[in-house]
Amino acid sequence: MTPLRQRMLEDMGVRNLAKNTQSAYVQQVAVYARHFQRSPEDLGPDEVRAYQIHLTQTRKLSPSTIGVATGALRFLYKVTLKRDWAVQEIPMPKKSFRLPVILSREEVRRFLDSVESLKHRAVLMTAYAAGLRVSEATHLKLTDIDSQRMTLRVDQGKGRKDRYVMLSPRLLEELRAYWKAVRPTLWLFPGDLAGQPISRGAVGSACQKARRASGIAKPISAHSLRHAFASHLLESGTDVRTIQLLLGHRSLATTSRYLKVATSTVCATTSPLDLLPRVESPAPHPGLPAHL
């Protein structure tokens, strides 16, 4: 390990950045260094600009992917190397806003019914029932289930924050049946490696297999179930603030985007056209075909 990488890891560790963030930043800086075949310490604003153009125009990466690389370079030059120009000379790309594709309640049922593995169905059902991120669902432990208070404890979710979410009575019934069959000990959903939880890749593969079996044309991932959870709660009348707490969103603005996809709430609104008095259609103009 190079001294620069070691310093950067130490700087990220001191600031308690998530492990996934640390791994992504180190990887992005390594790719940046290989692109120029030089140490990042010997590169400056001109090289950073050229690299961002390369990512945008040559590799044609998405704004979100470029944003990860930009965040890594900003951290490297501002925090680890303490360059005065870091933030000003490394612009963050603006992300396009895309609404998530939402599964209906019937589609969620069809999807879950199409999951063959008992463990995979249990973890995906948990993600939907509690609105969990896939990393949160896969890292649940047996001790996170509180059947007395009917809650699930999410330990150190995104942003290193703990939170409690509801434990559905139906989910509890399903988890008890799953536990009797599998008998997990530490992790609620153990993986193939001893002592490790199920991987995100395994859950993702199960999603794609179930989507094909269900015949649903919409794209489906484990995160789709979290989107469906929020939208279905909103459509059933749950207030946005409660949904924010359940999802663990830092900002209410993030949760409010579900107002745009809650079709039974938004699209059920009466159009002003329907409130106008009916007007008789004008008679066809003489000489014109009757269908015009």
| Active-site residue identified among 139, 227, 232, 249 | 249
| Active-site residue identified among 133, 139, 211, 232 | 133
Average confidence (pLDDT) over 6-11: 96
CB atoms within 10 A of CB 173: 10
pLDDT for position 240 = 84
Does the pLDDT at position 258 exceed 80? no
Catalytic (active site) residue 139: no
Average confidence (pLDDT) over 193-218: 94
Tell me the CA distances in angstroms from 136 to 19, 202, 231, one per residue in order.
14, 14, 19
Catalytic (active site) residue 120: no
Give DSSP secondary structure letters for 60-87.
Answer: ---HHHHHHHHHHHHHIIIIIS--TTHH
Catalytic (active site) residue 77: no
| Active-site residue identified among 141, 153, 223, 257 | 223
| Active-site residue identified among 139, 211, 226, 232 | 226
| Active-site residue identified among 51, 77, 178, 258 | 258
> In CATH terms, is domain 105-266 a member of 3.40.462.10?
no
Q: Are 199 and 174 in contact (CB under 8 A)?
A: no
Average confidence (pLDDT) over 196-209: 95
| Active-site residue identified among 153, 158, 200, 257 | 158
Catalytic (active site) residue 133: yes
pLDDT for position 248 = 86
CATH architecture of 3-89: Orthogonal Bundle (1.10)
Does the pLDDT at position 134 exceed 70? yes
Catalytic (active site) residue 258: yes
> Which pLDDT tens digit goes with each residue over 31-75?
999 999 999 999 999 999 999 999 999 999 999 899 999 999 999
DSSP 144: G
Catalytic (active site) residue 183: no
- Unique residue bearing structure tokens 């789709």: 224
Q: Where are the domains of the chain?
A: 3-89, 105-266
Does the pLDDT at position 264 exceed 60? no
Does the pLDDT at position 267 exceed 80? no
pTM: 0.69
Confidence at 167, pLDDT banded by 50, 70, 90: very high
Classified as helix, coil or strand, 176 is helix
